[in-house]
Structure 1
Amino acid sequence: MDPDWILSRLAQPAAMRTSFVEIRGSALLKAPLRLSGEYQRLEDDTLIRDVRAPYAETTTIRAGEVKIQRAGKAARTFSLSRAPELAGLQASFGALLAGDRKRLEQHYRVAAEGTHQQWTMVLTPRSSAVAAKLQGITLRGRGAELRCIEARPARSDASGGIELQRTLLAGAAREAAGIVDASQLAALCRGHGAAQR
């Protein structure tokens, strides 16, 4: 599978919105934490992550800064240099949505496999600062639809385990409505959801 084929299908104009369902697991939690909301990319250099449930929080990454706003609290702003994994996220989203493999490869080693109907692209950080926090990112999709992002942290959690953070996007996020079982959500991420039953 050629990464260029995937990137050409994912390329979109600057303004885009997509719903998401994010699952954060930890052995310290009785059940995975489930967040839902919307990603917005209104301009090439701006990425907004708008969490709507179970709480309201907006994270805006723009011009080298991160701004986090939560209802009833003062906004926090800090430099992206303090959070290299967020800088990598912004760069990777921007490069993915521009279909720009060269820019993506400035930050990650890129490998892809699968078919046009069901593909996987793995991004491995080049920067040691990012690699210290993130082993890699696996993107999963069908045709032109990016359906799931799996981020694997570099360090274990307090229980000693490493838990994937899964973000279901677009059609997969819609299919996740009402599903609470972690194994079913993992299967949906991997392409074994309602559309393939």
Structure 2
Amino acid sequence: MTTSTPLPSRAAPPEAGPDAAAIVAGLKRETPARTAYTEVRYSGMLDRPLILRGELEYLGAGRLGKRVEQPYREQTTIADGSATIRRGEREPRTFALGQAPELEGFLRGFTALLGGDAQTLQHDFTLTASGSAANWQLQLKPRDARLARRVRAIEVDGANGTPRCFRTHEGDGDLAILLVDTLAATKLTTRPAKSELDLLCRGAPAR
């Protein structure tokens, strides 16, 4: 009796990772675009995270609006190279972005994301992607040393063409996590753990 020699198995080729530029292109929003948000800020100066809720407004390149509705009321408008902040009934404060080049670089990056402009984004940040096309994460690291001292990295989690979270890792170790779209209405405890939000951002169901 003869025995046949088994054919060597062929391993399936590894699945290609998501294309960062294609993900950014899929994030493009028509203006004006508005979305509710919940922001959780972790700071070494606070004994517990600060939780803000409100609405973001994207009005085109270099133009953003951010309204805080809870736990206080504040409106920030960025347009034409300047930022205006008004809290409650106080007189608004306006300053030129040129006075804070690192803020200007951050703004260019954020609006380039919402504008689906990978070319502009890669001018100011190194851009990498991980995960899959259906469940991805983008990581942006500033090229400019001044911005890098203020912002170490920005991470964006999303699914298909919809972002879920924006994380801003600040130079002093503080962290801001912005939950948007379907996660904006997530009920949180008064002291949400970073690990809990990481699971939400990566698509795990809330517990």
TM superposition score normalised by structure 1: 0.88
Q: For the residues of structure 1 that align with 2:146 and 2:63, how far apart are their CA atoms? A: 22
The residue number in structure 2 matching 1:71 is: 88
The residue number in structure 2 matching 1:193 is: 205
- 1:50 maps onto 2:60 in alignment: no
Offset at residue 181 of structure 1 (A): 4.5
Q: For the residues of structure 2 that align with 1:172 and 1:143, how far apart are their CA atoms? A: 15
Runs of 4+ in 1 over 3 A off after TM superposition: 178-181
Confirm or deny: 8 A CA contact 1:179 1:185 kept in the other structure. no
Q: Tell me the C-alpha RMSD between the 2 structures.
A: 1.7
Q: For the residues of structure 2 that align with 1:49 and 1:17, how far apart are their CA atoms? A: 10
Offset at residue 99 of structure 1 (A): 1.4
Q: For the residues of structure 2 that align with 1:188 and 1:4, how far apart are their CA atoms? A: 24
Tell me the matched-pair count. 188
- 1:38 maps onto 2:58 in alignment: no
Confirm or deny: 8 A CA contact 2:106 2:147 kept in the other structure. no
1:125 to 109, 125, 142: 142
Counterpart AA for 1:96: L
Identity of aligned residues (%): 34
Q: For the residues of structure 1 that align with 2:35 and 2:178, how far apart are their CA atoms? A: 11
Counterpart AA for 1:177: K
Write out aligned runs for 1:1-197 (5 A): 1-155=18-172, 162-174=173-185, 176-183=186-193, 184-194=196-206
TM superposition score normalised by structure 2: 0.84
Q: For the residues of structure 2 that align with 1:61 and 1:24, how far apart are their CA atoms? A: 21
